[in-house]
Amino acid sequence: MSNITFKTVQPDGFGQIYADMQMQFPPEELKPFNVFVKLLSEGKLECLGAYDNLTQVGYLIFAKADEFIWLDYIAVKKEFHSKGYGRKILACFKNMFLEVEKPCIENPDTLRRIKFYESLGAKKLGFEYLYPNNSGGLEMDLYFLGDNMPDNDKIFSVVKSVFKNIHADVNELDKFIDKIYKAMHSI
């Protein structure tokens, strides 16, 4: 396996990525295609294709907030699963927040993903996290992968900034922000 390289995916080339996302992510975690295209066009999200030589093996979608990366999505294409690509892709980035599904025994993939992120050194943040969507939100865990864990004030500042930028389409967004603030300050 050679070194991973990255190429920016432009909004007009996002359709193929979105088709893969629909196969790999639960529908409640996905925004409509046109919202992604708008966020990419406005520079609020970035999408990078991950390549091994000339073959696209995966992709990641993220936002930048201060010196941090907010990983919105990462996926290795199905035909390249279990070949070390996810580890190699994430090794290229530091100081990253990750939204991770809650562990579910009925869905072993959740346990596998959590084990994978933790093996890279990601630490689960100790408060209840709610992914904002227009169906009332999705309980998830928020992890941090990096050398220096930010304090709660910085974490909240990043969450608020990211939510205002990439989840502006969500109804009653301020309620999600308030819930996270209260959860962070009750620990």
- Residue-wise pLDDT tens digits, 139-149: 999 999 998 99
Range of the domain at 8: 4-185
Q: Are 108 and 122 in contact (CB under 8 A)?
A: no
Q: Are 132 and 123 in contact (CB under 8 A)?
A: no
Residue 1 banded pLDDT, cuts 50, 70, 90: very low
Decide if pLDDT at 187 tops 70.
no
Q: Which residues, 6+ apart, have CB-to-CB distance to 107 below 8 Å?
A: 101
H or E segment and range at residue 108:
helix 108-119
Mean pLDDT of the 5-15 span = 95
Query: The domain spanning residue 109 has which CATH number?
Result: 3.40.630.30
The string of DSSP codes covering 6-30 is EEEPPGGG-HHHHHHHHHHS-GGG-
Domain count, the chain: 1
